[in-house]
């Protein structure tokens, strides 16, 4: 199976699936968000090198069971595609990357590949498209604009879409001081207004 394959679901509708390496972490990446990562395990160094060479994505998922280091962890069922936007290796064997969140996906199946790298067949979840920010939620904007200004474009890249309920919901959720499991539940919501 290649990176992008289309299969038919039992209902006859097209489902976009991918076969990707998965990177289970103790963090949640949201679409459009940036995640700095320090990579030192060989399986993830190899994964990052292959993704940069092929300009291909990998999946970031919150860990359900297990740990970031050692044996392959069991991830939650919904994650986010990630692409490497920046990298540097100041010290041999330690790769610093910035991953940017793409579309959300649901894991269909996983298997542990070479070097204990978790691989998965995933179904890309439908994108809501631009959803106008309801007037009653505009009171969230002054705080979000202040946070975005404080963090800068290195943490919250442009374009800043303050009129899009999905973008606003993702940005507020990623900066909220709440547990990762709560962030995971908010990532899994399909309705951007429910997330707000």
Residue given tokens 């994108």 in the structure block = 127
Q: pTM above the 0.75 mark?
A: yes
Mean local confidence (pLDDT), 8-19: 68
Spatial separation of the C-alpha atoms in residues 157 and 22, rounded to whole Å:
24
Instruction: Give the pLDDT score at 13.
Output: 56
96 forms bridges with which residues in the sheet?
38, 88
pLDDT above 60 for 7? no
93, 49 Cβ separation under 8 angstroms: no
97, 48 Cβ separation under 8 angstroms: yes
Rg value, the chain, Cα: 17
Task: Summarize pLDDT for 105-151 with one digit per residue, the tens.
Answer: 999 999 999 889 999 999 999 988 899 999 999 999 999 999 999 99
Determine the Cα angle at 71 with ends 65 and 73, to 5°: 25
The overall average pLDDT reported for the chain is 92
């Amino acid at each position: 199976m290649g990176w992008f394959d289309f299969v038919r679901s039992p209902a006859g509708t097209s489902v976009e699936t991918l076969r990707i390496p998965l990177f289970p972490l103790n963090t949640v990446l949201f679409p459009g968000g940036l995640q700095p990562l320090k990579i030192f395990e060989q399986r993830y160094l190899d994964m990052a090198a292959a993704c940069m060479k092929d300009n291909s994505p990998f999946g970031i998922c919150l860990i359900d069971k297990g740990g970031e280091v050692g044996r392959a962890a069991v991830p939650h069922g919904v994650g986010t595609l990630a692409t490497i936007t920046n990298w540097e290796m100041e010290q041999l064997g330690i790769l610093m990357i910035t991953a940017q969140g793409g579309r959300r996906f649901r894991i269909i199946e996983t298997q542990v590949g070479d070097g204990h790298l978790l691989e998965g067949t995933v179904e890309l979840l439908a994108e809501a498209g631009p959803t106008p920010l309801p007037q009653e939620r505009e009171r969230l904007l002054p705080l979000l604009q202040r946070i975005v200004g404080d963090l800068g474009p290195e943490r919250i890249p442009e374009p800043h879409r303050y009129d899009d309920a999905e973008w606003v919901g993702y940005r507020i959720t990623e900066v909220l001081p709440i547990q990762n499991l709560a962030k995971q539940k908010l990532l899994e919501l399909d309705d951007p207004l429910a997330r707000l």
